Amino acid sequence: MRLSSFSDFSLRVLIYLALKQDELSTVAEISDKYHISKNHLVKVVHNLSNLGLIKSFKGKGGGLLLASKPVDINIGATLKLLESESVLIDCFNNEGNCVLEPSCKLKTILKEAQEEFYSQLSKYNLEDLVSNKRFLLRSLDL
């Protein structure tokens, strides 16, 4: 299974905000630190805000904060939200379009694997991802 770059960037934003704790951060700042397109990050931040994972404050002195404590942001649940449109194979969305549909076991097996993937990730929260804070801060030159 491969995560979309959108999910990857979303996790990076969450990690960054967790590292900055209660200090406001901006899209431009995050874009600069990760070397990611500001325009792309605007879409990522907008989505994270709509999902209720971050708070966005507009205007002068505005910025971004986590909406919850890092320990309360579950990685598996977050990725499941972010990847809700992503499917492993076409038959997940196209019921009845495959001649193998009545007897194929692949779809069932892949669904089980996908659920196990999210189940494994659900063992971790955002706090776990920033437990090596000192090294992450150094990596981001913060």
**Cβ distance 33 to 113 under 8 Å?**
no
CATH of 5-139, one of 3.40.366.10, 1.10.8.60, 3.40.50.261, 1.10.10.10: 1.10.10.10
- Whole-angstrom distance, CA of residue 107 vs CA of residue 90: 10
Tell me: pLDDT of 99 over 80: no
* pLDDT single digits (tens) 78-97: 999 999 876 666 666 666 57
Does the pTM exceed 0.95? no
Tell me: pLDDT of 131 over 90: yes
3-class DSSP state for residue 55?
strand
3-class DSSP state for residue 102?
coil
**What confidence score (pLDDT) does residue 15 get?**
98
Tell me: pLDDT of 102 over 90: no
Tell me: pLDDT of 40 over 90: yes
**What confidence score (pLDDT) does residue 94 get?**
63
What does the domain layout of the chain look like in residue ranges? 5-139
**What confidence score (pLDDT) does residue 103 get?**
80
- Whole-angstrom distance, CA of residue 72 vs CA of residue 52: 12
- Whole-angstrom distance, CA of residue 1 vs CA of residue 26: 31
Token digits for 115?
A: 């659920």
* pLDDT single digits (tens) 8-29: 999 999 999 999 999 999 999 9
**What confidence score (pLDDT) does residue 95 get?**
60
Burial of 59 (0-12, 13-18, 19+ CB in 10 A): exposed
**What confidence score (pLDDT) does residue 67 get?**
97
**What confidence score (pLDDT) does residue 88 get?**
64
Which of the residue ranges 40-54, 56-70, 88-102 would you say has the lowest mean pLDDT? 88-102
